[in-house]
Amino acid sequence: MPDIPELIRLAVAARDRAYAPYSNHPVGAALVTDAGGVYTGCNVENAAYPLGSCAEQSAISAMVLGGGGTIRELVVVGPGDTPCTPCGGCRQRIREFAGPGTKVHICNERGVLLTMTLDELLPESFGPKNLNQR
């Protein structure tokens, strides 16, 4: 199972491959599943802004393609030293594949800037279980 420094290294490598010519805000993400699978992603922008993909979304898509699973930990690395937290849409995507205690680490190249659980990142969230309640 990779440790946080290794996940940061993978997220930085993904960030460095991001396609962000419009915002100049490259982001990388790396996640590890409960089964030990490791998946990375980067943001990919498009001239028609709403059609871009976030790094977290890309990593989750790679995870699903690789067989799925439950996210155990997630690392997100932005372009500088200011914490780059997941956007609202990505928080909901993370929620789909993670539990309330899943740790989300917001990092720069040197280390962790902020760590939150999914429940702290997206309190009182709506998820798959809500669709089965009456």
- For residues 107-120, average pLDDT: 97
Closest CA to 83 of 115, 113, 104: 113
CATH number, residue 10: 3.40.140.10
pTM of the model: 0.94
Q: What is the pLDDT of residue 23?
A: 95
Binding residue numbers for Zn(2+): 54, 87, 90
Which domain covers residue 76, as residue numbers? 4-132
- For residues 32-44, average pLDDT: 97
Q: What is the pLDDT of residue 134?
A: 54
Q: How many helices (H) and strands (E) does the chain have?
A: 4, 5
Clarify whether 124 is annotated catalytic: no
Binding residue numbers: 43-49, 54, 87, 90
Q: What mean pLDDT is reported for the chain?
A: 95
Binding residue numbers for substrate: 43-49
Active-site choice (6, 56, 96, 124): 56
Strand 28-33's sheet: what is its strand order?
38-42, 28-33, 71-77, 98-108, 111-117
Number of domains in the chain: 1
Q: What is the pLDDT of residue 87?
A: 96
